[in-house]
Chains A and B, each alone.
Chain A
Amino acid sequence: MAKVKVAVLGSGNIGTDLMIKLGRSELLELTAVIGIDPQSDGLRRAKEMGYAGVDTGIDGFLADPTLKADIVFDATSAKAHLYNAKVLKEAGIKVIDMTPAAVGPYVCAAVNIDEHLEKDNINLITCGGQATIPMVHAVNRVSPVEYAEIVATISSKSAGPGTRANIDEFTETTSRAIEVVGGAKKGKAIMILNPAEPPIMMRDTVYTLVEEGKMDEEGIRKSIAEMTEVVQSYVPGYQLRTEPIFEGNKVTIFIQVEGAGDYLPKYSGNLDIMTAAGVKIAEEFAKNLLKKETV
């Protein structure tokens, strides 16, 4: 089967985890890992695994006629993404933006990818967003959600310096995406870091308030169960910790995300769900691109 060529920009934790996941894809062929530090563990591993390792950044990659990609994952930073987005657009390469830059529309892999298959740049929101927005949507598609609030608790060890320095970006971006993608009229997000040892698994609690008189408990239960399976199809460690709780017009959903343990440890479910969602979205892009080629 023909594969679509992809490259990973950024040779840190996220980039390296993506590299390992991409090695398993039947639709995507990883050609290059692009970094700026020749000494990085990610670039060293990329070369070991037989991928091109570019240490001259996005410009070096684009200048090399032997390297090709139809889709690039940008796992650098919000600031770097602004430049990367521009040059990749000029080069006609689709971008999956893993940074908080949000140049393109927010996409949650389980919810709204179909609307954005033709976009040249999409944004992955946040880890908390990828974990919880499917559930906000699952409730909202049965009973309209007036208000949704999510609490993401992650182990201190899996929150890197970028997340810590920009914690407001998490709360603000996730809140907006709960509304725009999840469909809630109003959204709110909270993040908590827990330093317990051994590190805790990522846990997310989703509270939704549905419109008065519109509660359909049975319908919502079914919708949540279906959505759980959809997310599990690309994040195997995604599960409900306990049954959803229904009280009046409130539904509370408890989620745990255990990472696949590819490059990142299992407790880094917050990072795993981002890389898994990135690969899932790239595969949907790839199916769309391959379909066009055969027509």
Chain B
Amino acid sequence: MTNERDILITEVALRDGSHAVSHQFTVDQVLKVAKALNDANVPYFEVSHGDGLAGSSLQYGLSRTNEMELIEAAVSVADKSKVAVLLLPGIGTLHDLKEAANLGAKMARIATHVTEADVAPQHIAYAKELGMETVGFLMMNHMAPVDKLVEQAKLMESYGADTVYVVDSAGYLLPGQVRERIRALKQSVGINVGFHAHNNLSLAMANTLVAIEEGATRIDGSVRCLGAGAGNTQTEVLIAVCERMGIKTGVDLYKMMDLAEDIIAPILPVPQEITKDSLTLGYAGVYSSFALHSKRAAERYGVDSRDILIELGKRRVVGGQEDMIVEVAAELAKSKNR
């Protein structure tokens, strides 16, 4: 297989997929998935709690296994693929980053809300110091207008990020909006541009292709859609589509298909599909990890989980504000019983 690649794929199942399995990954599962990704020649794959390093919490869900053990396991079987970690300033700290780097993580993706890049400079600089490749990961991208996105991407570039991502955390963006965003970034920054989709509106693949067409070269996917909400761009499908289009990913299609079918499918608590909750995420513009939390709160308070998500969208809640879910559910129950 050639090493030449037109786009570089980052597989996020072992991080974004952490949400879908309520942060219950085991060392054994991670070893199997990581080994298969390495064998399939996937250039990067991410391993962390769904909310990034140190995300294990009552707010987001406690990890069954310490993520550092998972990172260590992943690194131990990845002699070709590089292991990436996600860090949200305000949750994870420089200490966590150092621990991950010491275990062999080679890429640090520093994630902030799309308007808050200026909490990231310390973490990007430190990741560089640790010899890691760095990504500025601008989440909930749909919540800022394009000029604001450009300003924030330039900040990420100024802090030393090697790549800046448009992260459609809610799976809300339409293809035209993705086009506009990637195009604006390609015109205004000199670093790599990446795209991370969620499939809540069944647009992950279409949006990803538009992003590639506009010059995004770093693309996220989750095998078998093992990601929050309806999952991300389905990696093995993307590999096939890219092959048909003559876009070189360097990833082995058959091996990815086998991974999806034989290893990932049995891990999934339920097959990934666009349920009414994940559809509502994309429709209302809500952070994808809120789906399962809202479902639980809806059962507890006897309200419709869609009403919770719609209300959260109206209140312009950002990623990480899971504590709002119970509060909104309680309020809805109260007004219903009035």
**Given that A149-B57, A149-B59 are contacting pairs, would A195 and B327 also be in contact in the complex, using a CB cutoff of 8 Å?**
no
* Residue B231 at the chain A interface, CB threshold 8 Å: no
Contact with A along B307-335 (1 / 0, CB 8 A): 00000000111101101001100110000
Instruction: Select one of A168, A191, A195, A254 contacting B115, CB under 8 A.
Output: A195
Are B317 and A164 touching (Cβ within 8 A)? no
> Of all chain B residues, which has the CB nearest A250?
B58
* Residue A167 at the chain B interface, CB threshold 8 Å: yes
Are B321 and A192 touching (Cβ within 8 A)? yes
* Residue B269 at the chain A interface, CB threshold 8 Å: no
Are A192 and B318 touching (Cβ within 8 A)? yes
* Residue A171 at the chain B interface, CB threshold 8 Å: yes
* Residue B118 at the chain A interface, CB threshold 8 Å: yes
Instruction: Select one of A161, A190, A245, A252 contacting B320, CB under 8 A.
Output: A190
Which residues from chain A contact B118 at a C-beta distance below 8 Å? 161, 164-165
Assembly CA distance A151 to B59 (angstroms): 8
- Which of B41-49, B88-96, B218-226, B277-285 contacts the other chain? B88-96
Complex interface residues of chain A between 192 and 229 (CB less than 8 A to chain B): 192-196, 203, 205, 207, 209
Q: Which residues of B contact A (CB under 8 A)?
A: 57-59, 89-91, 93-95, 113, 115-116, 118-119, 121-122, 143, 315-318, 320-321, 323, 326-327, 330-331
Pick 28 A–B contacts, CB within 8 A, sort by A.
Answer: A149-B58, A151-B323, A156-B115, A156-B116, A164-B118, A164-B119, A165-B118, A166-B122, A167-B90, A167-B122, A168-B122, A172-B93, A188-B57, A190-B59, A190-B91, A192-B90, A193-B119, A194-B113, A194-B318, A195-B116, A195-B143, A195-B318, A196-B315, A203-B323, A207-B58, A252-B58, A252-B323, A254-B327
Instruction: Select one of B122, B143, B321, B330 contacting A153, CB under 8 A.
Output: B321
Whole-angstrom distance between the Cβ of A283 and the nearest chain B Cβ: 32
Assembly CA distance A153 to B323 (angstroms): 10
Assembly CA distance A170 to B91 (angstroms): 10
Which residues from chain A contact B90 at a C-beta distance below 8 Å? 167, 170-171, 190-193
Which residues from chain A contact B89 at a C-beta distance below 8 Å? 167-168
* Residue A39 at the chain B interface, CB threshold 8 Å: no
Instruction: Select one of A147, A209, A250, A254 contacting B323, CB under 8 A.
Output: A254
Are B113 and A195 touching (Cβ within 8 A)? yes
Assembly CA distance A188 to B96 (angstroms): 14
Complex interface residues of chain A between 222 and 245 (CB less than 8 A to chain B): 241-242, 245
Are B330 and A242 touching (Cβ within 8 A)? yes
Which residues from chain A contact B323 at a C-beta distance below 8 Å? 151, 153, 203, 205, 252, 254
Instruction: Select one of A153, A171, A195, A245 contacting B93, CB under 8 A.
Output: A171
New A-B pairs, 9, CB < 8 Å, besides A165-B118, A168-B95, A195-B113: A156-B115, A166-B122, A167-B89, A167-B122, A171-B91, A190-B90, A195-B318, A242-B330, A254-B323
**Given that A168-B122, A192-B90, A195-B113 are contacting pairs, would A245 and B57 also be in contact in the complex, using a CB cutoff of 8 Å?**
no
> Of all chain A residues, which has the CB nearest B121?
A165
Task: Kindly state the interface size class of chain A when it binds its partner.
Answer: 20 to 34
Which residues from chain A contact B93 at a C-beta distance below 8 Å? 168, 171-172
Assembly CA distance A193 to B115 (angstroms): 10
Whole-angstrom distance between the Cβ of B300 and the nearest chain A Cβ: 9
Assembly CA distance A192 to B324 (angstroms): 12
Are A242 and B327 touching (Cβ within 8 A)? yes
Which residues from chain B contact A156 at a C-beta distance below 8 Å? 115-116
Assembly CA distance A153 to B320 (angstroms): 9
Complex interface residues of chain A between 77 and 96 (CB less than 8 A to chain B): none
Are B119 and A190 touching (Cβ within 8 A)? no
Assembly CA distance A207 to B326 (angstroms): 13
Which residues from chain B contact A254 at a C-beta distance below 8 Å? 323, 327
Which residues from chain A contact B116 at a C-beta distance below 8 Å? 156, 164, 193, 195
Which residues from chain B contact A167 at a C-beta distance below 8 Å? 89-90, 119, 122
Contact with B along A231-275 (1 / 0, CB 8 A): 000000000011001000010101000000000000000000000
Assembly CA distance A39 to B119 (angstroms): 28
Whole-angstrom distance between the Cβ of A86 and the nearest chain B Cβ: 27
Are B122 and A207 touching (Cβ within 8 A)? no
Which residues from chain A contact B320 at a C-beta distance below 8 Å? 151, 190, 192
Complex interface residues of chain A between 140 and 160 (CB less than 8 A to chain B): 147, 149, 151, 153, 156
Which residues from chain A contact B95 at a C-beta distance below 8 Å? 168, 172
Assembly CA distance A156 to B326 (angstroms): 23
Are B113 and A196 touching (Cβ within 8 A)? no
Residue of B115, B118, B121 with most chain A CB atoms under a 10 A cut-off: B118
* 5 nearest A-B residue pairs (beta carbon): A205-B323, A191-B90, A207-B58, A196-B316, A168-B93
Assembly CA distance A256 to B73 (angstroms): 42
> Of all chain B residues, which has the CB nearest A241?
B327
Contact with B along A47-77 (1 / 0, CB 8 A): 0000000000000000000000000000000
Assembly CA distance A192 to B60 (angstroms): 13
Whole-angstrom distance between the Cβ of B244 and the nearest chain A Cβ: 41
Instruction: Select one of A168, A170, A193, A250 contacting B113, CB under 8 A.
Output: A193
Assembly CA distance A207 to B318 (angstroms): 20
Which residues from chain B contact A195 at a C-beta distance below 8 Å? 113, 115-116, 143, 318
Which residues from chain B contact A161 at a C-beta distance below 8 Å? 118
Assembly CA distance A153 to B93 (angstroms): 17
Assembly CA distance A195 to B119 (angstroms): 13
Which residues from chain A contact B327 at a C-beta distance below 8 Å? 241-242, 254
